Chains A and B, each alone.
Chain A
Amino acid sequence: MTEPILQVEGLRKDFGELIAVDDVTATVREGGSLAIVGESGSGKTTVAKMIVGLEGPTAGSIRACGRDRSTPARSTAERRRRGREVQIVFQDPYTSLDPRQTVERALDEVLRLHQGWDAERRRSRVLELGELVGLDGRQIRALPRALSGGQRQRVAIARALAAEPRVLILDESVAALDVSIQAQVLNLLADIRDETGISYVLISHDLAVVRQLTEETIVMWRGRVVERGPTAQVLDDPQDDYTKRLRASVPRPGWKPTRRAKAGVGEETDR
Protein backbone atom coordinates (compact mmCIF):
# COMPACT_ATOMS: atom_id res chain seq x y z
CA MET A 1 0.00 0.00 0.00
CA THR A 2 1.50 3.26 -1.11
CA GLU A 3 1.30 6.46 0.87
CA PRO A 4 -1.48 8.87 -0.17
CA ILE A 5 -0.37 11.79 -2.31
CA LEU A 6 -2.05 14.19 0.12
CA GLN A 7 -2.97 13.58 3.71
CA VAL A 8 -4.32 15.93 6.34
CA GLU A 9 -4.89 14.79 9.90
CA GLY A 10 -6.61 16.48 12.81
CA LEU A 11 -6.36 19.81 11.04
CA ARG A 12 -7.48 22.78 13.10
CA LYS A 13 -7.41 26.53 12.59
CA ASP A 14 -8.38 29.18 15.11
CA PHE A 15 -8.92 32.82 14.25
CA GLY A 16 -8.94 34.36 17.70
CA GLU A 17 -12.06 33.03 19.39
CA LEU A 18 -13.43 31.42 16.26
CA ILE A 19 -12.58 27.84 15.40
CA ALA A 20 -12.71 27.98 11.61
CA VAL A 21 -11.55 24.42 11.02
CA ASP A 22 -11.86 21.70 13.63
CA ASP A 23 -10.31 18.24 13.45
CA VAL A 24 -10.42 17.72 9.70
CA THR A 25 -8.89 14.53 8.39
CA ALA A 26 -8.79 13.54 4.72
CA THR A 27 -6.64 11.71 2.23
CA VAL A 28 -6.24 11.76 -1.53
CA ARG A 29 -4.59 8.87 -3.27
CA GLU A 30 -2.38 9.32 -6.30
CA GLY A 31 -4.61 10.13 -9.29
CA GLY A 32 -7.68 10.33 -7.06
CA SER A 33 -10.00 13.21 -6.48
CA LEU A 34 -11.58 14.60 -3.37
CA ALA A 35 -14.39 17.11 -3.04
CA ILE A 36 -14.69 19.33 0.00
CA VAL A 37 -18.31 20.43 0.06
CA GLY A 38 -19.73 23.17 2.23
CA GLU A 39 -21.19 26.63 2.32
CA SER A 40 -19.63 29.94 3.26
CA GLY A 41 -18.21 29.78 6.74
CA SER A 42 -17.84 26.01 6.64
CA GLY A 43 -14.06 26.29 6.68
CA LYS A 44 -13.50 24.59 3.33
CA THR A 45 -11.47 27.43 1.86
CA THR A 46 -9.39 27.68 5.03
CA VAL A 47 -8.52 24.00 4.61
CA ALA A 48 -7.36 24.73 1.06
CA LYS A 49 -5.28 27.68 2.23
CA MET A 50 -3.59 25.57 4.87
CA ILE A 51 -2.77 22.82 2.37
CA VAL A 52 -1.01 25.27 0.05
CA GLY A 53 0.67 27.12 2.91
CA LEU A 54 -1.19 30.43 2.73
CA GLU A 55 -2.35 29.84 6.31
CA GLY A 56 -0.58 27.94 9.06
CA PRO A 57 -2.62 25.32 10.92
CA THR A 58 -3.20 25.79 14.65
CA ALA A 59 -2.93 22.05 15.10
CA GLY A 60 -2.77 18.90 12.99
CA SER A 61 -0.53 17.77 10.17
CA ILE A 62 -0.43 18.09 6.41
CA ARG A 63 1.62 15.76 4.25
CA ALA A 64 1.96 15.94 0.50
CA CYS A 65 4.07 13.64 -1.68
CA GLY A 66 5.45 12.03 1.44
CA ARG A 67 6.74 15.26 2.99
CA ASP A 68 5.39 17.26 5.88
CA ARG A 69 4.21 20.79 5.13
CA SER A 70 2.53 21.72 8.39
CA THR A 71 5.13 24.38 9.14
CA PRO A 72 6.32 27.24 6.89
CA ALA A 73 9.03 26.37 4.38
CA ARG A 74 12.47 27.16 5.72
CA SER A 75 14.33 27.75 2.49
CA THR A 76 13.70 29.09 -0.98
CA ALA A 77 14.36 25.64 -2.39
CA GLU A 78 11.82 24.03 -0.11
CA ARG A 79 9.23 26.70 -0.87
CA ARG A 80 9.60 26.04 -4.57
CA ARG A 81 9.58 22.31 -4.13
CA ARG A 82 6.27 22.62 -2.31
CA GLY A 83 5.06 24.66 -5.26
CA ARG A 84 5.82 21.68 -7.47
CA GLU A 85 3.85 19.36 -5.22
CA VAL A 86 0.55 21.18 -4.71
CA GLN A 87 -0.92 24.01 -6.75
CA ILE A 88 -4.18 25.93 -6.51
CA VAL A 89 -6.63 27.65 -8.87
CA PHE A 90 -8.79 30.27 -7.21
CA GLN A 91 -12.38 31.25 -7.76
CA ASP A 92 -12.17 34.74 -9.16
CA PRO A 93 -10.82 34.78 -12.71
CA TYR A 94 -10.60 38.56 -12.57
CA THR A 95 -8.05 39.03 -9.80
CA SER A 96 -6.13 35.83 -10.32
CA LEU A 97 -3.87 37.35 -12.97
CA ASP A 98 -1.56 40.36 -12.75
CA PRO A 99 -3.25 42.95 -15.00
CA ARG A 100 0.13 44.20 -16.25
CA GLN A 101 1.44 40.83 -17.33
CA THR A 102 0.72 39.05 -20.58
CA VAL A 103 -0.26 35.39 -20.37
CA GLU A 104 3.09 34.49 -21.88
CA ARG A 105 5.07 36.37 -19.24
CA ALA A 106 2.94 35.04 -16.39
CA LEU A 107 3.62 31.46 -17.47
CA ASP A 108 7.27 32.18 -18.16
CA GLU A 109 7.72 33.62 -14.68
CA VAL A 110 6.51 30.38 -13.13
CA LEU A 111 8.68 28.23 -15.41
CA ARG A 112 11.71 30.30 -14.43
CA LEU A 113 10.96 29.63 -10.77
CA HIS A 114 10.88 25.90 -11.18
CA GLN A 115 12.99 24.87 -14.14
CA GLY A 116 16.51 25.81 -15.05
CA TRP A 117 15.55 26.05 -18.69
CA ASP A 118 16.80 28.51 -21.31
CA ALA A 119 14.46 31.04 -22.90
CA GLU A 120 13.90 28.87 -25.98
CA ARG A 121 12.79 25.84 -24.01
CA ARG A 122 10.57 27.92 -21.75
CA ARG A 123 8.97 29.51 -24.79
CA SER A 124 8.01 26.23 -26.32
CA ARG A 125 6.67 25.01 -22.97
CA VAL A 126 4.52 28.15 -22.68
CA LEU A 127 2.98 27.34 -26.06
CA GLU A 128 2.49 23.73 -24.99
CA LEU A 129 0.70 24.80 -21.83
CA GLY A 130 -1.45 27.19 -23.83
CA GLU A 131 -2.39 24.37 -26.14
CA LEU A 132 -3.19 22.10 -23.20
CA VAL A 133 -5.78 24.54 -21.86
CA GLY A 134 -7.04 25.62 -25.29
CA LEU A 135 -5.49 29.06 -25.73
CA ASP A 136 -4.15 30.07 -29.11
CA GLY A 137 -1.00 32.06 -29.85
CA ARG A 138 -2.71 35.41 -29.84
CA GLN A 139 -4.39 34.78 -26.53
CA ILE A 140 -1.02 33.74 -25.13
CA ARG A 141 0.38 37.14 -26.04
CA ALA A 142 -2.63 39.03 -24.68
CA LEU A 143 -3.06 40.91 -21.44
CA PRO A 144 -5.69 39.55 -19.03
CA ARG A 145 -8.08 42.41 -19.72
CA ALA A 146 -8.40 41.27 -23.32
CA LEU A 147 -9.56 37.85 -22.18
CA SER A 148 -12.96 36.62 -21.05
CA GLY A 149 -13.57 35.08 -17.63
CA GLY A 150 -13.36 31.55 -19.00
CA GLN A 151 -10.12 32.28 -20.84
CA ARG A 152 -8.61 33.83 -17.72
CA GLN A 153 -9.51 30.76 -15.73
CA ARG A 154 -7.74 28.64 -18.35
CA VAL A 155 -4.68 30.82 -17.90
CA ALA A 156 -4.85 30.32 -14.13
CA ILE A 157 -5.05 26.56 -14.69
CA ALA A 158 -2.11 26.69 -17.12
CA ARG A 159 -0.07 28.68 -14.62
CA ALA A 160 -0.75 26.13 -11.90
CA LEU A 161 0.14 23.30 -14.27
CA ALA A 162 3.39 25.02 -15.27
CA ALA A 163 4.82 23.89 -11.94
CA GLU A 164 3.87 20.31 -12.87
CA PRO A 165 2.21 19.69 -9.52
CA ARG A 166 1.02 16.29 -8.34
CA VAL A 167 -2.06 17.75 -6.67
CA LEU A 168 -4.23 20.60 -7.95
CA ILE A 169 -6.64 22.32 -5.59
CA LEU A 170 -9.63 23.85 -7.35
CA ASP A 171 -11.08 26.40 -4.97
CA GLU A 172 -14.52 27.12 -6.49
CA SER A 173 -12.58 27.45 -9.74
CA VAL A 174 -15.56 27.03 -12.04
CA ALA A 175 -18.20 28.69 -9.88
CA ALA A 176 -17.91 32.13 -11.47
CA LEU A 177 -18.09 30.86 -15.04
CA ASP A 178 -21.08 30.88 -17.36
CA VAL A 179 -22.70 27.48 -17.73
CA SER A 180 -21.50 26.90 -21.29
CA ILE A 181 -17.95 27.89 -20.34
CA GLN A 182 -18.07 25.92 -17.11
CA ALA A 183 -18.72 22.76 -19.11
CA GLN A 184 -15.69 23.47 -21.30
CA VAL A 185 -13.44 23.94 -18.28
CA LEU A 186 -14.78 20.83 -16.51
CA ASN A 187 -14.11 18.77 -19.63
CA LEU A 188 -10.65 20.31 -19.83
CA LEU A 189 -9.92 19.33 -16.22
CA ALA A 190 -11.01 15.76 -16.96
CA ASP A 191 -8.70 15.65 -20.01
CA ILE A 192 -5.78 16.98 -18.01
CA ARG A 193 -6.30 14.30 -15.39
CA ASP A 194 -6.33 11.63 -18.07
CA GLU A 195 -3.13 13.03 -19.57
CA THR A 196 -1.08 13.77 -16.47
CA GLY A 197 -2.47 11.56 -13.70
CA ILE A 198 -2.82 14.63 -11.49
CA SER A 199 -4.97 14.50 -8.34
CA TYR A 200 -7.71 17.04 -7.70
CA VAL A 201 -9.07 18.54 -4.54
CA LEU A 202 -12.26 20.34 -5.49
CA ILE A 203 -13.60 22.89 -3.06
CA SER A 204 -17.19 23.57 -4.05
CA HIS A 205 -20.73 24.27 -2.98
CA ASP A 206 -22.07 23.06 -6.33
CA LEU A 207 -23.04 19.44 -5.88
CA ALA A 208 -23.50 18.78 -9.59
CA VAL A 209 -19.93 19.90 -10.29
CA VAL A 210 -18.77 17.73 -7.40
CA ARG A 211 -20.54 14.74 -8.92
CA GLN A 212 -18.97 15.38 -12.28
CA LEU A 213 -15.35 15.69 -11.16
CA THR A 214 -14.71 13.73 -7.98
CA GLU A 215 -14.74 10.23 -6.53
CA GLU A 216 -14.60 10.97 -2.83
CA THR A 217 -16.39 13.67 -0.87
CA ILE A 218 -16.22 15.17 2.55
CA VAL A 219 -18.98 17.52 3.68
CA MET A 220 -18.01 20.34 6.04
CA TRP A 221 -20.31 22.33 8.28
CA ARG A 222 -19.12 25.00 10.69
CA GLY A 223 -15.53 23.81 10.54
CA ARG A 224 -16.18 20.11 11.03
CA VAL A 225 -16.50 17.15 8.71
CA VAL A 226 -20.08 15.94 9.07
CA GLU A 227 -20.09 13.29 6.38
CA ARG A 228 -17.60 11.48 4.15
CA GLY A 229 -17.66 8.76 1.56
CA PRO A 230 -17.70 8.03 -2.16
CA THR A 231 -19.23 11.02 -3.95
CA ALA A 232 -22.07 9.03 -5.50
CA GLN A 233 -23.04 7.58 -2.13
CA VAL A 234 -22.90 10.91 -0.29
CA LEU A 235 -25.05 12.62 -2.91
CA ASP A 236 -27.53 9.82 -3.56
CA ASP A 237 -27.97 8.68 0.01
CA PRO A 238 -26.90 11.40 2.41
CA GLN A 239 -26.86 10.40 6.09
CA ASP A 240 -26.11 13.60 7.95
CA ASP A 241 -28.94 16.10 8.49
CA TYR A 242 -26.97 18.96 7.04
CA THR A 243 -26.01 16.97 3.94
CA LYS A 244 -29.63 16.04 3.49
CA ARG A 245 -30.70 19.66 3.72
CA LEU A 246 -27.95 20.70 1.29
CA ARG A 247 -29.05 18.02 -1.15
CA ALA A 248 -32.70 19.06 -0.81
CA SER A 249 -31.83 22.69 -1.50
CA VAL A 250 -30.65 21.99 -5.03
CA PRO A 251 -33.32 23.17 -7.46
CA ARG A 252 -34.72 20.57 -9.82
CA PRO A 253 -37.87 20.19 -11.85
CA GLY A 254 -40.86 20.02 -9.58
CA TRP A 255 -38.80 21.37 -6.71
CA LYS A 256 -40.72 23.15 -4.00
CA PRO A 257 -38.50 25.32 -1.85
CA THR A 258 -39.45 25.04 1.80
CA ARG A 259 -38.82 27.39 4.67
CA ARG A 260 -36.85 25.90 7.48
CA ALA A 261 -36.91 27.51 10.89
CA LYS A 262 -37.20 31.25 11.30
CA ALA A 263 -33.95 33.12 10.92
CA GLY A 264 -32.44 33.17 14.33
CA VAL A 265 -29.33 32.99 16.37
CA GLY A 266 -26.12 31.98 14.72
CA GLU A 267 -27.02 33.80 11.56
CA GLU A 268 -26.27 37.28 12.80
CA THR A 269 -23.01 37.94 11.08
CA ASP A 270 -20.81 36.57 8.38
CA ARG A 271 -17.96 35.98 10.74
Chain B
Amino acid sequence: MSEMPEGDSISAALLEVEDLVVDLPVEGEMRRVLHEVSLSIRPGESVGLVGESGSGKSMTARAIDRLLPLGAAVGGVIRFDGGDVMALSGTELRRFRGEVAMIFQDPRAHINPVRRIGDFMTEALRTNRNLPSAEAEHRAVDLLESVGIEDGRRRLRQYPHELSGGLLQRVMIATALLTQPRLLLADEPTTAVDVTTQAEVMAILDDLRREFRLAMLFITHNLELAAAVCDRTAVMYAGQVVEVRASSLLHDDPLHPYTAALAAARPDIGATKDRLASIPGRPLSAFEAPSDACAFAPRCSHVRDACREQRPALTELDGGLTRCLRANELRGHMGSETT
Protein backbone atom coordinates (compact mmCIF):
# COMPACT_ATOMS: atom_id res chain seq x y z
CA MET B 1 0.00 0.00 0.00
CA SER B 2 1.31 3.40 -0.85
CA GLU B 3 1.84 5.54 2.19
CA MET B 4 3.58 8.55 0.80
CA PRO B 5 0.92 11.10 0.18
CA GLU B 6 3.16 14.14 -0.15
CA GLY B 7 5.20 13.49 -3.27
CA ASP B 8 8.53 11.66 -3.11
CA SER B 9 8.92 8.08 -4.14
CA ILE B 10 8.54 5.18 -1.76
CA SER B 11 12.23 4.45 -1.89
CA ALA B 12 12.93 7.72 -0.13
CA ALA B 13 11.36 6.46 3.07
CA LEU B 14 13.70 5.57 5.92
CA LEU B 15 11.10 3.60 7.81
CA GLU B 16 8.14 1.87 6.26
CA VAL B 17 5.52 0.01 8.21
CA GLU B 18 2.95 -1.84 6.16
CA ASP B 19 -0.13 -3.58 7.49
CA LEU B 20 1.51 -4.27 10.81
CA VAL B 21 -0.57 -6.69 12.87
CA VAL B 22 0.42 -7.66 16.40
CA ASP B 23 -1.23 -10.21 18.68
CA LEU B 24 -0.22 -10.57 22.31
CA PRO B 25 -1.01 -13.42 24.66
CA VAL B 26 -3.23 -12.15 27.46
CA GLU B 27 -4.36 -14.66 30.06
CA GLY B 28 -3.93 -17.56 27.70
CA GLU B 29 -5.63 -16.12 24.65
CA MET B 30 -4.14 -14.08 21.82
CA ARG B 31 -5.40 -10.55 21.68
CA ARG B 32 -4.95 -8.25 18.73
CA VAL B 33 -3.28 -5.02 19.79
CA LEU B 34 -2.51 -3.60 16.37
CA HIS B 35 -4.71 -3.82 13.26
CA GLU B 36 -3.02 -3.19 9.94
CA VAL B 37 -0.94 -0.21 10.99
CA SER B 38 0.81 1.54 8.12
CA LEU B 39 3.26 4.41 8.45
CA SER B 40 6.28 5.83 6.73
CA ILE B 41 8.95 8.29 7.74
CA ARG B 42 11.52 9.93 5.51
CA PRO B 43 14.99 10.96 6.65
CA GLY B 44 14.78 14.15 8.68
CA GLU B 45 11.01 14.03 8.85
CA SER B 46 9.05 14.09 12.08
CA VAL B 47 5.82 12.17 12.27
CA GLY B 48 3.48 12.45 15.22
CA LEU B 49 1.62 9.39 16.44
CA VAL B 50 -1.37 10.48 18.46
CA GLY B 51 -3.97 8.45 20.32
CA GLU B 52 -5.68 7.87 23.64
CA SER B 53 -4.72 5.11 26.06
CA GLY B 54 -4.98 1.66 24.53
CA SER B 55 -4.92 2.97 20.97
CA GLY B 56 -1.69 1.07 20.27
CA LYS B 57 0.68 3.98 19.74
CA SER B 58 3.35 2.71 22.14
CA MET B 59 2.90 -0.81 20.86
CA THR B 60 3.66 0.42 17.35
CA ALA B 61 6.96 1.90 18.51
CA ARG B 62 7.86 -1.26 20.38
CA ALA B 63 7.11 -3.38 17.35
CA ILE B 64 9.32 -1.17 15.20
CA ASP B 65 12.21 -1.47 17.66
CA ARG B 66 11.60 -5.23 18.05
CA LEU B 67 10.84 -4.76 21.73
CA LEU B 68 7.58 -6.70 21.89
CA PRO B 69 7.05 -9.07 24.82
CA LEU B 70 7.72 -12.76 24.44
CA GLY B 71 4.98 -14.68 22.67
CA ALA B 72 3.89 -11.78 20.49
CA ALA B 73 2.79 -12.74 17.00
CA VAL B 74 3.67 -10.15 14.37
CA GLY B 75 2.37 -9.87 10.82
CA GLY B 76 2.97 -7.35 8.07
CA VAL B 77 6.17 -5.64 7.02
CA ILE B 78 8.57 -3.28 8.76
CA ARG B 79 11.36 -1.99 6.54
CA PHE B 80 14.22 0.18 7.73
CA ASP B 81 16.44 1.65 5.03
CA GLY B 82 15.02 -0.96 2.67
CA GLY B 83 15.88 -3.96 4.89
CA ASP B 84 13.36 -6.24 6.56
CA VAL B 85 13.45 -5.48 10.29
CA MET B 86 11.64 -8.65 11.27
CA ALA B 87 14.41 -10.78 9.74
CA LEU B 88 17.23 -9.19 11.76
CA SER B 89 19.08 -11.09 14.43
CA GLY B 90 22.31 -11.05 16.42
CA THR B 91 24.78 -8.36 15.40
CA GLU B 92 22.48 -7.05 12.68
CA LEU B 93 19.74 -6.48 15.23
CA ARG B 94 22.18 -4.74 17.54
CA ARG B 95 23.35 -2.48 14.74
CA PHE B 96 19.72 -1.72 13.88
CA ARG B 97 19.03 -0.77 17.48
CA GLY B 98 21.99 1.59 17.29
CA GLU B 99 20.43 3.28 14.29
CA VAL B 100 16.99 3.43 15.81
CA ALA B 101 17.07 5.01 19.25
CA MET B 102 14.19 5.15 21.67
CA ILE B 103 13.35 7.54 24.49
CA PHE B 104 10.61 6.89 26.99
CA GLN B 105 8.04 8.70 29.05
CA ASP B 106 9.59 7.96 32.41
CA PRO B 107 13.37 8.22 32.25
CA ARG B 108 13.70 7.04 35.82
CA ALA B 109 12.21 3.67 34.97
CA HIS B 110 14.81 3.13 32.27
CA ILE B 111 17.96 4.07 34.10
CA ASN B 112 19.79 2.05 36.72
CA PRO B 113 19.54 4.16 39.89
CA VAL B 114 22.76 2.88 41.47
CA ARG B 115 25.02 3.64 38.51
CA ARG B 116 26.50 6.98 37.59
CA ILE B 117 25.14 8.91 34.62
CA GLY B 118 28.50 8.47 32.87
CA ASP B 119 28.42 4.66 33.11
CA PHE B 120 24.90 4.59 31.81
CA MET B 121 25.58 6.90 28.90
CA THR B 122 28.78 5.34 27.62
CA GLU B 123 27.97 1.67 28.19
CA ALA B 124 26.78 1.01 24.65
CA LEU B 125 29.79 2.74 23.12
CA ARG B 126 32.29 0.95 25.32
CA THR B 127 30.83 -2.53 24.98
CA ASN B 128 29.34 -2.58 21.48
CA ARG B 129 31.78 -0.35 19.67
CA ASN B 130 34.88 -0.97 21.80
CA LEU B 131 35.49 2.71 22.19
CA PRO B 132 38.04 3.63 24.89
CA SER B 133 36.20 5.14 27.85
CA ALA B 134 37.99 8.47 27.60
CA GLU B 135 36.70 8.93 24.08
CA ALA B 136 33.23 7.66 24.92
CA GLU B 137 33.11 10.16 27.77
CA HIS B 138 34.24 12.94 25.49
CA ARG B 139 31.42 12.17 23.07
CA ALA B 140 28.95 12.06 25.96
CA VAL B 141 30.01 15.49 27.19
CA ASP B 142 29.65 16.91 23.67
CA LEU B 143 26.15 15.55 23.34
CA LEU B 144 25.14 16.72 26.80
CA GLU B 145 26.12 20.17 25.65
CA SER B 146 23.96 19.88 22.58
CA VAL B 147 20.95 19.09 24.80
CA GLY B 148 21.73 22.16 26.87
CA ILE B 149 23.71 20.63 29.72
CA GLU B 150 26.91 22.65 29.99
CA ASP B 151 28.73 21.07 32.90
CA GLY B 152 28.69 17.61 31.36
CA ARG B 153 31.84 16.34 33.07
CA ARG B 154 30.29 16.91 36.48
CA ARG B 155 26.96 15.40 35.43
CA LEU B 156 28.65 12.21 34.30
CA ARG B 157 29.76 11.59 37.86
CA GLN B 158 26.32 12.17 39.33
CA TYR B 159 23.62 9.61 40.11
CA PRO B 160 20.15 9.65 38.53
CA HIS B 161 18.45 10.69 41.78
CA GLU B 162 20.51 13.88 41.85
CA LEU B 163 18.88 15.08 38.62
CA SER B 164 15.41 16.48 38.06
CA GLY B 165 13.00 14.75 35.71
CA GLY B 166 13.54 17.31 32.97
CA LEU B 167 17.31 17.08 33.25
CA LEU B 168 17.20 13.29 33.27
CA GLN B 169 15.08 13.30 30.12
CA ARG B 170 17.77 15.40 28.42
CA VAL B 171 20.35 12.87 29.53
CA MET B 172 18.21 10.14 27.97
CA ILE B 173 18.01 12.06 24.72
CA ALA B 174 21.78 12.62 24.68
CA THR B 175 22.31 8.93 25.41
CA ALA B 176 19.98 7.95 22.59
CA LEU B 177 22.01 10.10 20.21
CA LEU B 178 25.40 8.67 21.22
CA THR B 179 25.16 5.82 18.75
CA GLN B 180 24.37 8.32 15.97
CA PRO B 181 20.92 6.97 15.17
CA ARG B 182 19.01 7.89 12.06
CA LEU B 183 15.57 7.38 13.56
CA LEU B 184 14.38 8.43 16.98
CA LEU B 185 11.33 6.78 18.51
CA ALA B 186 10.13 9.17 21.20
CA ASP B 187 7.42 7.61 23.36
CA GLU B 188 5.69 10.41 25.26
CA PRO B 189 9.03 11.96 26.25
CA THR B 190 7.42 15.04 27.75
CA THR B 191 4.34 13.64 29.45
CA ALA B 192 6.01 13.39 32.85
CA VAL B 193 7.65 16.82 32.78
CA ASP B 194 6.33 20.34 33.32
CA VAL B 195 4.92 22.44 30.51
CA THR B 196 7.87 24.82 30.41
CA THR B 197 10.29 21.90 30.47
CA GLN B 198 8.25 20.25 27.73
CA ALA B 199 8.78 23.30 25.55
CA GLU B 200 12.52 23.06 26.10
CA VAL B 201 12.70 19.33 25.45
CA MET B 202 10.73 19.83 22.24
CA ALA B 203 13.04 22.65 21.19
CA ILE B 204 16.05 20.41 21.80
CA LEU B 205 14.54 17.57 19.79
CA ASP B 206 13.71 20.00 17.02
CA ASP B 207 17.27 21.38 16.88
CA LEU B 208 18.85 17.95 16.98
CA ARG B 209 16.61 16.75 14.24
CA ARG B 210 17.81 19.46 11.95
CA GLU B 211 21.42 19.18 13.04
CA PHE B 212 21.68 15.42 12.57
CA ARG B 213 18.98 15.04 9.92
CA LEU B 214 17.23 12.72 12.30
CA ALA B 215 13.88 11.19 11.49
CA MET B 216 11.50 11.08 14.42
CA LEU B 217 8.38 9.21 15.39
CA PHE B 218 6.90 11.31 18.14
CA ILE B 219 4.31 9.48 20.19
CA THR B 220 1.93 11.52 22.32
CA HIS B 221 -1.64 11.73 23.56
CA ASN B 222 -1.50 15.47 22.99
CA LEU B 223 -2.90 16.34 19.58
CA GLU B 224 -1.94 20.00 19.89
CA LEU B 225 1.65 19.15 20.73
CA ALA B 226 2.01 16.72 17.83
CA ALA B 227 0.42 19.14 15.43
CA ALA B 228 2.70 21.92 16.61
CA VAL B 229 6.01 20.12 16.26
CA CYS B 230 5.59 17.37 13.65
CA ASP B 231 5.54 17.55 9.86
CA ARG B 232 2.82 14.96 9.63
CA THR B 233 0.57 13.43 12.24
CA ALA B 234 -0.93 9.95 12.34
CA VAL B 235 -3.95 9.49 14.58
CA MET B 236 -4.58 6.06 16.07
CA TYR B 237 -7.77 4.65 17.47
CA ALA B 238 -8.34 1.12 18.79
CA GLY B 239 -5.12 -0.25 17.31
CA GLN B 240 -5.61 1.30 13.88
CA VAL B 241 -4.27 4.32 12.12
CA VAL B 242 -7.43 6.26 11.28
CA GLU B 243 -5.85 9.35 9.78
CA VAL B 244 -2.52 10.62 8.49
CA ARG B 245 -2.41 14.31 7.73
CA ALA B 246 0.02 17.16 7.29
CA SER B 247 0.11 18.69 10.76
CA SER B 248 -0.68 22.16 9.47
CA LEU B 249 -4.01 20.90 8.12
CA LEU B 250 -4.92 18.61 11.01
CA HIS B 251 -6.80 21.13 13.09
CA ASP B 252 -8.74 23.02 10.47
CA ASP B 253 -9.26 20.31 7.89
CA PRO B 254 -9.27 16.89 9.56
CA LEU B 255 -10.14 13.86 7.46
CA HIS B 256 -11.54 11.59 10.15
CA PRO B 257 -14.40 12.35 12.56
CA TYR B 258 -12.33 11.02 15.47
CA THR B 259 -9.59 13.58 14.87
CA ALA B 260 -12.17 16.31 14.65
CA ALA B 261 -13.91 15.14 17.81
CA LEU B 262 -10.61 14.89 19.69
CA ALA B 263 -9.73 18.46 18.80
CA ALA B 264 -13.18 19.70 19.72
CA ALA B 265 -13.16 17.90 23.08
CA ARG B 266 -10.13 19.81 24.34
CA PRO B 267 -10.88 22.94 26.29
CA ASP B 268 -9.59 26.10 24.65
CA ILE B 269 -6.98 28.19 26.41
CA GLY B 270 -8.25 31.26 24.60
CA ALA B 271 -11.91 31.09 25.57
CA THR B 272 -14.25 29.40 28.00
CA LYS B 273 -16.56 27.11 26.08
CA ASP B 274 -20.13 26.91 27.21
CA ARG B 275 -19.91 23.17 27.02
CA LEU B 276 -17.15 20.90 25.78
CA ALA B 277 -18.00 18.70 22.84
CA SER B 278 -17.26 15.47 24.68
CA ILE B 279 -17.18 12.18 22.80
CA PRO B 280 -19.73 9.80 24.32
CA GLY B 281 -18.53 6.46 25.66
CA ARG B 282 -14.93 5.57 26.24
CA PRO B 283 -11.98 4.82 23.97
CA LEU B 284 -12.08 1.28 22.65
CA SER B 285 -9.10 -0.99 23.21
CA ALA B 286 -7.58 -2.56 20.14
CA PHE B 287 -8.76 -6.06 20.99
CA GLU B 288 -12.34 -4.82 21.28
CA ALA B 289 -12.32 -3.37 17.80
CA PRO B 290 -14.68 -5.24 15.47
CA SER B 291 -13.25 -6.62 12.24
CA ASP B 292 -16.40 -5.89 10.29
CA ALA B 293 -17.20 -2.35 11.31
CA CYS B 294 -15.60 1.02 11.91
CA ALA B 295 -14.15 0.96 15.43
CA PHE B 296 -15.19 4.54 16.06
CA ALA B 297 -18.77 4.04 14.86
CA PRO B 298 -20.33 3.65 18.36
CA ARG B 299 -19.03 7.08 19.38
CA CYS B 300 -19.24 8.88 16.07
CA SER B 301 -21.81 11.61 15.55
CA HIS B 302 -21.68 11.09 11.78
CA VAL B 303 -22.32 7.35 11.85
CA ARG B 304 -24.41 5.66 9.16
CA ASP B 305 -25.55 2.05 8.88
CA ALA B 306 -22.81 1.38 6.35
CA CYS B 307 -20.20 2.21 9.01
CA ARG B 308 -21.33 -0.81 11.01
CA GLU B 309 -21.10 -3.21 8.10
CA GLN B 310 -17.44 -3.04 7.14
CA ARG B 311 -14.14 -1.81 8.39
CA PRO B 312 -13.16 1.12 6.19
CA ALA B 313 -9.79 0.87 4.46
CA LEU B 314 -7.12 3.52 4.83
CA THR B 315 -7.68 5.57 1.69
CA GLU B 316 -6.01 8.60 0.23
CA LEU B 317 -7.70 11.96 0.31
CA ASP B 318 -6.27 15.40 -0.36
CA GLY B 319 -2.70 14.28 0.23
CA GLY B 320 -3.61 12.57 3.51
CA LEU B 321 -5.01 9.22 4.52
CA THR B 322 -8.26 8.41 6.28
CA ARG B 323 -10.10 5.35 7.44
CA CYS B 324 -13.62 6.76 7.11
CA LEU B 325 -16.29 5.81 4.63
CA ARG B 326 -17.82 9.28 4.65
CA ALA B 327 -14.58 11.23 4.70
CA ASN B 328 -15.21 12.85 1.37
CA GLU B 329 -18.73 14.09 2.03
CA LEU B 330 -17.91 15.14 5.61
CA ARG B 331 -14.87 17.18 4.69
CA GLY B 332 -15.15 20.72 5.87
CA HIS B 333 -18.13 19.85 8.08
CA MET B 334 -16.24 18.21 10.91
CA GLY B 335 -13.70 20.74 12.07
CA SER B 336 -15.80 23.63 13.19
CA GLU B 337 -19.36 22.53 13.82
CA THR B 338 -18.69 21.24 17.31
CA THR B 339 -16.90 24.26 18.66
Contacts and interface: CB of A to CB of B under 8 A. Distances in A.
A–B touching in complex (CB under 8 Å) = yes
B194 interface: yes
Interface in A242-265: 245-246, 248-255, 257-260, 262-264
A179 to B, nearest CB: 5
B265 A180 contact: yes
Given A190-B275, A211-B271, A183 B202 contact: no
A183 B264 CA distance: 9
Contacts of B182: none
A179 B269 contact: no
B270 interface: yes
Interface in A34-51: 39-40
Contacts of A270: 164-165
B162 A268 contact: yes
B163 to A, nearest CB: 7
B167 interface: yes
Contacts of B273: 212
Contacts of B198: 249
A33 B171 CA distance: 40
Interface string A217-239: 00000000000000110011000
Contact of B229 (A184, A212, A251): A251
Given A187-B278, A260-B200, A262-B150, A267 B164 contact: yes
Given A250-B195, A253-B227, A263-B149, A211 B167 contact: no
A181 B282 contact: yes
Contacts of A39: 194-197
Contacts of B204: 259
A253 B251 contact: yes
Contacts of B229: 251, 255, 257
Interface residues of B, number: 55
A22 B142 CA distance: 39
A246 B197 CA distance: 10
B222 to A, nearest CB: 7
A205 interface: yes
B83 interface: no
B207 interface: yes
Contacts of B222: 251
A220 B218 CA distance: 31
Interface in B237-288: 248, 251, 261-262, 265-273, 275-280, 282-283
Contacts of B266: 179, 182-183, 208
A179 B275 CA distance: 14
Given A39-B195, A267-B166, A180 B149 contact: no
A262 B149 contact: yes
Contacts of A14: none
B225 interface: yes
A263 B269 CA distance: 28
Interface of A: 39-40, 148-151, 178-184, 186-187, 190, 205, 207-209, 211-213, 231-232, 235-236, 245-246, 248-255, 257-260, 262-264, 267-270
12 contacts: A150-B282, A178-B53, A179-B265, A187-B278, A190-B275, A212-B276, A236-B270, A246-B196, A251-B222, A255-B228, A263-B148, A268-B164
